[in-house]
Structure 1
Amino acid sequence: MAKIKKGDLVQVIAGATQARGGDRGKQGKVLRVITEENRVVVEGINFVTKHVKVGQTQRGSKTGGLETVEAPIHISNVALVDPDTKKPTRVGHRVESVSKDGVTKNVRVRYAKKSGKDL
């Protein structure tokens, strides 16, 4: 079961600090999870400059040039943020009983473990 999913709020826990031009300590929402490569794309994190070839749209306006886009970051370099304390935390799973239409079913549910010190 995936520990980090699309839409989760995560914090970067590895890399260069913000004082040195890095992203460590920044928080953002997960835009995309790439499970084959164990990477995630986080909103506002790991910007890279992309060169786009100049083209033309149907209306005649020019496209292309330099764009800044979010690049994937390894999943081990981010931690889920606890919604209560707003600090990075570890993720656990527990089994809960869910009843729907009179049928009881056991479902594994993610939960944020208690966050102590910053990771």
Structure 2
Amino acid sequence: MAKIKKGDLVQVISGPSQARGGDRGKQGRVKEVLVERNRVIVEGINFVTKHTRVGQTQRGTKTGGLETFESPIHISNVALVDPKTKKPTRVGYRVEKNAEGKTVRVRISKSSGEDL
């Protein structure tokens, strides 16, 4: 079971600091989880610039130039943010029974014990 899911608020916990032009300490929402590559794409984090060749579409408009977009970051370099304290926290699971009596696993933050 994945600890980080799409839509979660995460914080970058490794890499260059913001003073050196990096993203450590920044928070953002997860846009996509790439499970097979153990990577996540976070909104506003790890921007890269891609140069695309100039071309022409059917209508005659020019395409190409510089494109900036978020690049994937390894899942171990981000930590889930606790909703109460707004600080990074570790994640655990608690086994509970739901309304129908089925056993389900619920994500909890380790520091506060609150469900995520």
Q: Give the whole-Å Cα distance in 1 for the aligned partners of 2:109 and 2:103.
A: 19
Q: Give the whole-Å Cα distance in 2 for the aligned partners of 1:51 and 1:105.
A: 52
The equivalent residue for 1:60 is: 60
Q: Give the whole-Å Cα distance in 1 for the aligned partners of 2:60 and 2:107.
A: 49
> 1:81 aligned to 2:78?
no
The amino acid that maps onto 2:70 is E
Q: Give the whole-Å Cα distance in 1 for the aligned partners of 2:87 and 2:34.
A: 24
> 1:38 aligned to 2:38?
yes
> 1:106 aligned to 2:100?
no
**Superposed displacement of residue 32, structure 1:** 0.7
Question: What TM-score, normalized to structure 2?
Answer: 0.90
CA RMSD of aligned residues (A): 1.3
Residue by residue, what CA displacement relative to the aligned partner does 1:38-71 show, whole Å, maximum 9, x if unpaired?
Answer: 1111010001111223233444322211101110
The equivalent residue for 1:20 is: 20
Q: Give the whole-Å Cα distance in 2 for the aligned partners of 1:105 and 1:53.
A: 55
Aligned length: 112
Of all paired residues, the percent bearing the same amino acid is 77
The equivalent residue for 1:51 is: 51
Which 5+ residue runs of structure 1 have no aligned equivalent?
none
Question: What TM-score, normalized to structure 1?
Answer: 0.88
